[in-house]
C-alpha cells in the first residue's frame, strides 16, 4: 500500500476498531494487526504522521523474518499471544504481595541494599504507594528546565515537542532497520526523550530512575536523545536491581544524535530477571541501540554492564559521520546458569579521521553462553580512520562458553583496524591464592572478575561503578562449586 492510500484510508475513517470494544478499555486483546496499532495511537492521542509511521513499520515487519544468526537458542515467540497495549500496567498475573515473590529474588534485593519500598515495585507487585522519588523528580525537573534541557517521557514529547520528535524519530534507527526495531516502531508505548540545546552542558546526570512513570514504559521502549552543537549529556539507563516483568519479550530502541562537537555518554546497567536456575521465566532482551555522530568532532560513548535477561541480543553502535568524530563502546556482559548473551557493537566509519575504541569483556559461568559480535566498517571516504578493539572473555567453570565473532570491512585502505582478543579462566591458582589470604570463594571470584572488568568500570559514573561491582558478585553467586 502506498503512503497516499494509507493517508486516504485514514482520512476517510474507513478503519474500524473492529473487535476492540471501546477505546475506554484499559488494554488491547492479545495479538497484532493494524487495528491494534490504531488503538495504541488513538489511546495516546497521537498525530496522524506518527500513526502513519507506525503502520509503515508494521507493514514492513509483516514481510520480515525473525533473525536467527545470533548465537542464542529460544523457543519460537508467538507474536499473536502478546498484549501490545495495557495501561496501567496489568498486574493480574503478577504477584499480589511480596509473599508471592521468588524468595531468591528477594534475597538478592537484600544483598544489593534495595530500599524496602522499591522492592515491591521491582518484583512486579501492584503497589499504590507514592514513591519518594516523585518529589525528587520534581525539583530535578525545574533545574533542567532552567538549563533549557528537555527530559520527559516519550508520550509527553510527542505532545509537547512534536516537531523535534518528528525530525529525529527513526533518523538513526529507521523503522525497517531490523525485525525487532520494526516491531518496536509499530507498537512502542513509551520511553524517554531528551534534548540538549546548543552549547548546554546538562547540569546533572540524567537517569530514567528519576523520570516520573518510568516504571510503566513497558516492553517496547523508545528512547531518543538529541545533543545539539557543543552540547553535552551523560545518561544513565536501568538500575542494578533485578527487575521482574511478566512480559517476556523486550524489544527497545534507543537513538542518539550528536551534532557538531556534541558529546553523549550513555551508560546502562541491565539486570532484567534472568529466570530461575533452569532459565525459566527470564526476559528476552532484543534491543537496537544506535548513535549517530552527525557533527564534526562529536562523540558518542556507550558503556554497558549486562547481567540480566535470559537472552540478550544487543549491539549498541555508532555511525561516525562527522569528521574527527569519536565512538566508544565499553561493555561487560555476565552470563550465569542458563543465560545467553550475544552482544557487541558496530562502528561505522564514514567521516575522515574518525576514531573508535571497543573494549568488550565477556564473563561466562555455569552453563551459560556469552558471545561478542562486532563489526568495524570503514567506508572509502573514511581516510585516516582508526579503530582499536579489545575483546576478552573470562570463563568460570568448564560448562560455559565464550565466543568471539569479529567482522571487519575496510574499503580501499581507508583506515587502520587493530584487534586483540583473549580468553582466560579464573584459575585454581588465583582462587587458592585469594582463599589463602582469607577471602571466601565468592569474594575471591568477585574480586578476580572485578579486576578483569576494571577498564570498563572505570568508564561508569562513580556510584554506578560501585553498584556494578556489587551486582557482579551477586550475579556470579554460586558459580564456584
The site for other proteins (CB under 8 A) is made up of 427-430, 432-441, 443, 447-448, 450-455
Nearer Cβ to other proteins, position 164 or 480?
Answer: 480
Nearer Cβ to other proteins, position 146 or 429?
Answer: 429
Asked whether 415 and 384 are in contact (CB, 8 A), the reply is yes
Nearer Cβ to other proteins, position 15 or 432?
Answer: 432
* Distance between CA atoms of residues 204 and 286, nearest Å: 29
Nearer Cβ to other proteins, position 369 or 469?
Answer: 469
Strands of 259-335 (E only): list them: 263-270, 284-293, 299-306, 311-314, 317-320, 326-335
Nearer Cβ to other proteins, position 254 or 333?
Answer: 333
C-alpha dihedral over 376, 378, 382, 384, to 10 degrees? 60
Q: Calculate the alpha carbon distances from 213 to 3, 32, 205, 455, 479 in Å.
A: 34, 25, 18, 34, 36
Nearer Cβ to other proteins, position 167 or 435?
Answer: 435
Output the smallest distance, CB 392 to other proteins, in A: 10
Output the smallest distance, CB 475 to other proteins, in A: 18
Output the smallest distance, CB 437 to other proteins, in A: 4
* Distance between CA atoms of residues 230 and 263, nearest Å: 8
| DSSP β-ladder status, 326-335 and 284-293 | unpaired
Beta bridge partners, 73, equal none
Output the smallest distance, CB 84 to other proteins, in A: 44
Q: Calculate the alpha carbon distances from 22 to 26, 28, 35, 92 in Å.
A: 9, 10, 12, 20
* Distance between CA atoms of residues 208 and 65, nearest Å: 32
Note if the bond before 297 is cis, omega within 30 degrees: no
Asked whether 378 and 407 are in contact (CB, 8 A), the reply is no
Output the smallest distance, CB 443 to other proteins, in A: 7
Q: Which three cell numbers stand for residue 4?
A: 497516499
How far does CA 395 lie from the centroid of its chain?
24
CB count within 10 Å of CB 441 equals 15
Nearer Cβ to other proteins, position 116 or 462?
Answer: 462
> What phi and psi, each to the nearest 5 degrees, are found at residue 228?
-75, 180
Output the smallest distance, CB 469 to other proteins, in A: 11
Nearer Cβ to other proteins, position 13 or 438?
Answer: 438
Output the smallest distance, CB 113 to other proteins, in A: 17
* Distance between CA atoms of residues 381 and 350, nearest Å: 6
Q: Which residue has the cell 523520570?
A: 211
Nearer Cβ to other proteins, position 360 or 453?
Answer: 453
Output the smallest distance, CB 466 to other proteins, in A: 13
Nearer Cβ to other proteins, position 346 or 459?
Answer: 459
Output the smallest distance, CB 481 to other proteins, in A: 10
Output the smallest distance, CB 438 to other proteins, in A: 4
Asked whether 445 and 476 are in contact (CB, 8 A), the reply is yes
- Three-state secondary structure call for residue 63: helix
Amino acid at each position: 500500500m502506498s503512503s497516499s492510500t494509507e493517508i486516504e484510508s485514514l482520512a476517510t475513517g474507513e478503519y474500524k476498531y473492529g473487535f476492540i470494544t471501546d477505546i475506554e478499555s484499559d488494554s488491547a486483546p492479545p495479538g497484532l494487526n493494524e487495528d491494534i496499532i490504531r488503538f495504541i495511537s488513538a489511546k495516546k492521542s497521537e498525530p496522524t504522521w506518527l500513526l502513519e509511521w507506525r503502520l509503515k513499520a508494521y507493514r514492513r515487519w509483516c514481510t520480515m523474518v525473525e533473525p536467527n544468526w545470533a548465537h542464542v537458542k529460544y523457543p519460537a515467540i508467538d507474536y499473536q499471544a502478546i498484549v501490545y497495549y495495557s495501561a496501567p500496567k496489568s498486574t493480574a498475573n503478577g504477584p499480589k504481595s511480596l509473599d508471592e515473590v521468588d524468595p531468591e529474588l528477594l534475597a538478592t534485593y537484600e544483598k544489593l541494599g534495595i530500599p524496602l519500598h522499591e522492592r515491591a515495585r521491582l518484583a512486579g507487585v501492584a503497589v499504590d504507594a507514592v514513591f519518594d522519588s516523585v518529589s525528587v523528580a520534581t525539583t530535578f525537573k525545574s533545574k533542567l528546565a532552567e538549563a533549557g534541557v528537555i527530559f520527559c517521557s516519550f508520550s509527553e514529547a510527542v505532545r509537547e515537542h512534536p516537531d523535534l520528535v518528528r525530525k529525529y524519530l527513526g533518523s538513526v534507527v529507521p523503522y525497517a532497520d531490523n525485525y525487532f526495531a520494526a516491531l518496536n516502531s509499530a507498537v512502542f508505548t513509551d520511553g524517554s526523550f531528551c534534548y540538549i540545546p546548543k552549547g548546554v552542558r546538562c547540569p546533572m546526570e540524567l537517569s530514567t530512575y528519576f523520570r516520573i512513570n518510568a516504571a510503566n514504559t513497558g516492553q517496547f521502549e523508545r528512547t531518543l536523545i538529541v545533543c545539539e552543537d557543543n552540547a553535552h549529556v551523560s545518561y544513565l539507563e536501568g538500575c542494578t536491581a533485578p527487575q521482574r516483568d511478566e512480559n517476556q519479550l523486550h524489544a527497545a530502541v534507543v537513538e542518539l544524535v550528536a551534532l557538531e562537537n556534541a558529546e553523549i555518554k550513555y551508560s546502562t546497567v541491565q539486570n532484567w530477571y534472568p529466570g530461575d536456575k533452569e532459565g525459566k521465566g527470564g526476559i528476552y532482551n532484543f534491543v537496537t541501540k544506535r548513535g549517530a555522530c552527525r557533527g564534526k568532532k562529536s562523540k558518542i560513548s556507550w558503556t554497558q554492564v549486562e547481567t540480566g535477561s535470559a537472552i540478550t541480543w544487543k549491539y549498541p553502535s555508532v555511525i561516525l559521520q562527522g569528521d574527527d568524530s569519536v565512538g566508544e563502546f565499553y561493555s561487560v556482559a555476565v552470563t550465569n546458569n542458563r543465560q545467553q548473551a550475544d552482544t557487541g557493537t558496530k562502528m561505522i566509519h564514514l567521516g575522515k579521521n574518525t576514531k573508535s575504541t571497543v573494549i568488550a569483556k565477556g564473563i561466562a559461568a555455569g552453563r551459560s553462553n556469552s558471545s561478542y559480535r562486532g563489526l568495524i566498517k570503514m567506508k572509502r571516504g573514511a581516510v585516516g580512520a582508526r579503530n582499536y578493539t579489545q575483546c576478552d572473555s573470562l570463563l568460570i567453570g568448564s560448562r560455559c562458553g565464550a565466543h568471539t565473532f569479529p567482522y571487519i570491512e575496510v574499503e580501499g585502505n581507508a583506515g587502520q583496524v587493530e584487534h586483540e582478543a583473549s580468553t582466560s579462566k579464573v584459575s585454581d591458582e588465583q582462587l587458592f591464592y585469594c582463599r589463602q589470604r582469607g577471602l571466601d570463594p565468592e569474594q575471591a571470584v568477585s574480586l578476580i572478575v572485578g579486576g578483569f572488568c576494571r577498564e570498563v568500570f572505570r568508564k561508569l559514573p562513580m556510584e554506578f561503578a560501585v553498584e556494578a561491582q556489587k551486582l557482579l558478585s551477586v550475579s556470579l553467586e554460586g558459580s564456584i562449586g
